[in-house]
């Protein structure tokens, strides 16, 4: 029994007489790992926030383009004029001639200041006003633009005066 114990203690010592560690991490190793994680996090968070702002700006701009196309299409289908009214002060726009997509009463309204967009309408100008009207053939009364901003990201939606086609400019 005594020989077995001396073999174990001899096995746990290195050739220079120091005792080997059996497992675990030292406090220094843990502090170094935490410092590396903190540094990577400090680098990653601003990049993530920037990419999130770009995504939301693109999403809001594409939503405006889609809703302008919907209004234009609805004007053609009904052979009657349809409008989209932008409110810079309220960060929303509405289409009073269309029903909301969720089936509730009232007019179709999009709040850009709410999730998922969380955007600000910086300006909306369609021939001097904040409203675009598509006639029964889907032709707009004027061309114009809507500028939306999220943080440092900005997107401009341009509506062609001839065709009424909307597109996003970066």
106-132 per-position pLDDT tens digit: 899 999 999 999 999 999 999 999 999
d(CA 43, CA 37) in angstroms, rounded, equals 10
Q: Which domain covers residue 145, as residue numbers?
A: 31-169
pLDDT above 90: percentage of residues in the chain = 74
Domain of 71, CATH number, reads: 3.55.40.10
pLDDT value, residue 163? 96
Nearest CA to 73 out of 60, 84, 62 is that of 84
Average pLDDT over residues 7-11: 50
Query: Does residue 143 form part of some domain?
Result: yes
Query: Does residue 19 form part of some domain?
Result: no
Query: Does residue 101 form part of some domain?
Result: yes
65-101 per-position pLDDT tens digit: 999 999 999 999 999 999 999 999 999 999 999 988 8
Query: Does residue 12 form part of some domain?
Result: no
The DSSP bridge partners found for residue 132 are 84
d(CA 148, CA 21) in angstroms, rounded, equals 61
Query: Does residue 24 form part of some domain?
Result: no
d(CA 3, CA 148) in angstroms, rounded, equals 81
Query: Does residue 5 form part of some domain?
Result: no
Residue 5, pLDDT > 60, answer no
Q: How far is CA 139 from CA 38, 63, 64, 130, 164, in A?
A: 56, 20, 17, 17, 6
Query: Does residue 117 form part of some domain?
Result: yes
* Total count of domains within the chain: 1
Query: Does residue 22 form part of some domain?
Result: no
């Amino acid at each position: 029994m005594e020989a077995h114990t001396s073999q174990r203690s001899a096995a746990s010592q290195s050739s220079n007489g120091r005792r080997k560690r059996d497992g675990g991490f030292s406090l220094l190793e843990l502090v170094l790992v935490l410092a590396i994680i903190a540094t990577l996090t400090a680098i990653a968070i601003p990049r993530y926030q920037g990419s999130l702002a770009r995504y939301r700006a693109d999403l809001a701009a594409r939503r405006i383009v889609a809703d302008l196309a919907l209004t234009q299409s609805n004007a053609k289908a009904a052979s009657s004029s349809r409008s989209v009214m932008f409110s810079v002060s309220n960060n929303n726009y509405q289409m009073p001639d269309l029903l909301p997509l969720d089936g509730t009463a009232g007019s179709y309204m999009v709040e850009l200041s709410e999730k998922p967009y969380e955007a600000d309408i910086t300006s909306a100008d369609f021939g001097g006003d904040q409203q675009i009207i598509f006639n029964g053939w889907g032709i707009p009364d004027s061309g114009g633009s809507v500028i939306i901003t999220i943080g440092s990201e900005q997107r401009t939606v341009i509506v062609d005066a001839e065709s009424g086609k909307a597109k996003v400019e970066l």
